[in-house]
Chain A
Amino acid sequence: MTAPTLAIDDLRLGFRGWAGTVEVLHGISLHIAKGERVALVGESGSGKSVTARLVLGLVQELRGARFSGRMAFEGRDLGALSRREREALRGDRISMIFQDPTSSLNPVYTIDTLFHEVLRRGAPGIGAAEAREKAIAALADVAITDPERVLRSYAFQLSGGMNQRVLIAMALANNPALLLADEPGTALDVTVQAQTLALMQSLVARHGTSMLFISHNLGVVREFADRVYVIYKGRIVEQGPTEGLFEAPLHPYTRALMAAVPRITGEGIPEIDEEQTGFYDPLVAHPGYSEAELRP
């Protein structure tokens, strides 16, 4: 059996500050098989985003960050890579999409320039003309009807939805094995978000890209993911198949999370149990979906 695209074992992360080390991840394990779409769900501050940044090696460069555990990408131990090797993976084999597309694009360079830089990650010697051709094709892929105009524009001249498409096109341009999507489109309004997510879903399926989908939006996760990990305060509390987890949540925190979604039918904002009974209960895996069972 081939190695999973991403395997994380007992990942711990702490930040050393004035008052000792603050641990933010308490030993999480997860994996993403080739072509699989996995969601990491939790509230803000639960450690979802920092996990994605650890995979990319962005957190390691912060001073005071202390981490342990094993992360392997396609069987290669990420911890054993040199800084240069880690950087070589970014944008080429692993890429990332962010919350706010418009502020994620450099405001003083045209999309054309940025796209050229992105494509250079996959093909270092690529010329401007060839890059433009590839960029036009990539933008057409994300259903942008006038790619030439978009390439000539700056991010602030385009709509948020358009910028999200541009970012998706950039993230997939070098055919990465793994796409990390950190709350993609949370800054967009819901209709635009739905459109771009649907687009991303079909592209990821077509390219066979593995994906880590980080979100607090349960509705989107249900549509999007094959499997779900629920994270609470730096611990995975529940894992299982999307349908099974949504039909029958097992962990008290997951049940609270699902109850917290406001209903469009107007039942008001749901009552959240302040007691948080059982939120710290140990990890519950749905039958057949524990790390030990899924990974040889």
Chain B
Amino acid sequence: MSPVVRLLIKRIATSFIVLVGVSLLIFTIARVIPGDPARIALGPNASAEAVEALRDKLHLNDAFVVQYGYFIADLARGDLGQSLYSNRPVTQDIAAYLPATLELVFFAGATMILIGVPLGMLAARYRDRPLDHGIRLFTMLGVSAPDFVWAVILMLIFAYFLPIFPIAGRISDSFAVPPVTGFLTIDSLIAGDFAAFGNVLWHLALPAFALSFAGIGQSARLTRANMVETYRKPFIEMALAFGFPQGRIARRFAFKPSMIPSLTVIGLDLASMLGNAFLVEQIFAWPGLSRYGVAVILRKDLNAIVGTVLIISAMFLIVNIVVDLLVALINPRIRLSQRSS
């Protein structure tokens, strides 16, 4: 078995244990916050009998352990229960809202890596020169305020005062894209509708940039710091002494070792975007999981709360596994240490 596969299996197993822990935790928390879900769902005018009947149906009158048992049994069948808010299966609701959030986070993550890392490389290569100072100022802006502040500022400047970008939503009303995956970028390409695809990207630009700005700053600063550190290493002096071209040193021989420490933090940034997306989605009226999440928490919709949190945690864990695999791929020490003992 290849060492990377071994690592993958190990990480999936530990992630599964984490998910079980998270489910137990959120299951408990959802049940101890005050308020009767059945009463909230049925409204103040429902009769006591009707409320009691719904409580029975939701197993809310059973012991806590029994409730958790029902939950796990359903989960094993891929059933997260009914949402009291939308009266649909929670899995269906999540399938409807999750793609919008994932699309936003994916583009924000790509923006962060594709802008932040090269900025850091440039700053390191031209350190203490004007370009470096400029980049450091720009990245300082990114890390100095949270994403939602930038979301509001960017929206005011580039959508309100200078109406270059749309102010809200995922796509203009004039486009109709047949839903296949729920990811509008993919669906519009499947439909062969490039005008719609462009429109989707246009809508994505501002929220994705707002969500990634802090990450751009963080990854650029981290990449710069690690590259500067690497440039002091004897193996870079060796590369210079042997006349390896400067560009190849920057892009290859100094870059790859520098990315080993950066990658873990960049992965964490990427995962935390899932959480930050909640606020950015609210500001840009993005029809993603955050709207749903906030609504179900306010209505104490137990199944939907647990389902949403579990899905977000699972995404978080998947990002972490991917990052661990990438680190293993670029760091031969980790790859080679995964031998069977």
Enumerate the 4 nearest inter-chain pairs by beta-carbon distance, A residue then B residue, closest first: A90-B243, A91-B242, A91-B243, A96-B241
Interface contact A104-B237, CB-CB below 8 Å: yes
Interface contact B128-A63, CB-CB below 8 Å: yes
Say whether A7 faces chain B, with CB atoms less than 8 Å apart: no
Given the known inter-chain contacts A108-B260, A108-B330, please indicate yes or no for A121 contacting B242, CB distance below 8 A. Answer: yes
Interface contact A98-B234, CB-CB below 8 Å: yes
CB 8 Å contact bits of B227-251 with A (1 = contact, 0 = none): 0000001110111111111101000
Say whether B88 faces chain A, with CB atoms less than 8 Å apart: no
Band of interface residues on A: 20 to 34
Interface contact A108-B244, CB-CB below 8 Å: no
Interface contact A108-B241, CB-CB below 8 Å: no
Interface contact A104-B235, CB-CB below 8 Å: yes
Q: Tell me the complex Cα distance, A153–B333, Å.
A: 11
Given the known inter-chain contacts A90-B240, A108-B332, A170-B242, please indicate yes or no for A103 contacting B256, CB distance below 8 A. Answer: no
Contact of A90 among B242, B257, B336 (CB under 8 A): B242
Residues of A within 8 Å of B138, CB to CB, are none
| A interface residue numbers (CB < 8 A to B) | 56, 58, 63, 87-92, 95-96, 98-100, 103-110, 117-118, 121, 154, 156-157, 167, 170
Interface contact A107-B128, CB-CB below 8 Å: no
Interface contact A105-B238, CB-CB below 8 Å: yes
Given the known inter-chain contacts A88-B243, A91-B244, A121-B243, please indicate yes or no for A105 contacting B237, CB distance below 8 A. Answer: no
Given the known inter-chain contacts A58-B237, A103-B234, A104-B235, please indicate yes or no for A87 contacting B243, CB distance below 8 A. Answer: yes
Task: Tell me the minimal C-beta distance from B65 to chain A in angstroms.
Answer: 50
Say whether B264 faces chain A, with CB atoms less than 8 Å apart: no
Residues of A within 8 Å of B238, CB to CB, are 96, 98, 104-106, 167
Residues of B within 8 Å of A106, CB to CB, are 235, 238-239, 253, 257
Residues of B within 8 Å of A88, CB to CB, are 243
Q: List 18 A-B contacts (CB under 8 A).
A: A56-B241, A58-B240, A87-B245, A90-B240, A90-B241, A90-B242, A90-B243, A92-B243, A96-B242, A103-B234, A104-B235, A105-B238, A106-B257, A107-B235, A108-B331, A117-B239, A117-B248, A156-B332
Task: Tell me the minimal C-beta distance from B168 to chain A in angstroms.
Answer: 45
Interface contact A108-B243, CB-CB below 8 Å: no
Residues of A within 8 Å of B128, CB to CB, are 63
Residues of A within 8 Å of B246, CB to CB, are 87
Q: Tell me the complex Cα distance, A199–B330, Å.
A: 34
Residues of A within 8 Å of B242, CB to CB, are 90-91, 95-96, 117-118, 121, 170
Interface contact B256-A89, CB-CB below 8 Å: no
Q: Tell me the complex Cα distance, A117–B244, Å.
A: 7
Q: Tell me the complex Cα distance, A112–B260, Å.
A: 21
Interface contact B233-A103, CB-CB below 8 Å: yes
Q: Tell me the complex Cα distance, A104–B128, Å.
A: 26
Q: Which residue of chain A is the closest to B238 with respect to CB atoms?
A: A104
Q: Tell me the complex Cα distance, A280–B55, Å.
A: 97
Interface contact B235-A157, CB-CB below 8 Å: no
Q: Tell me the complex Cα distance, A89–B242, Å.
A: 9
Residues of B within 8 Å of A91, CB to CB, are 241-244
Q: Tell me the complex Cα distance, A260–B133, Å.
A: 49
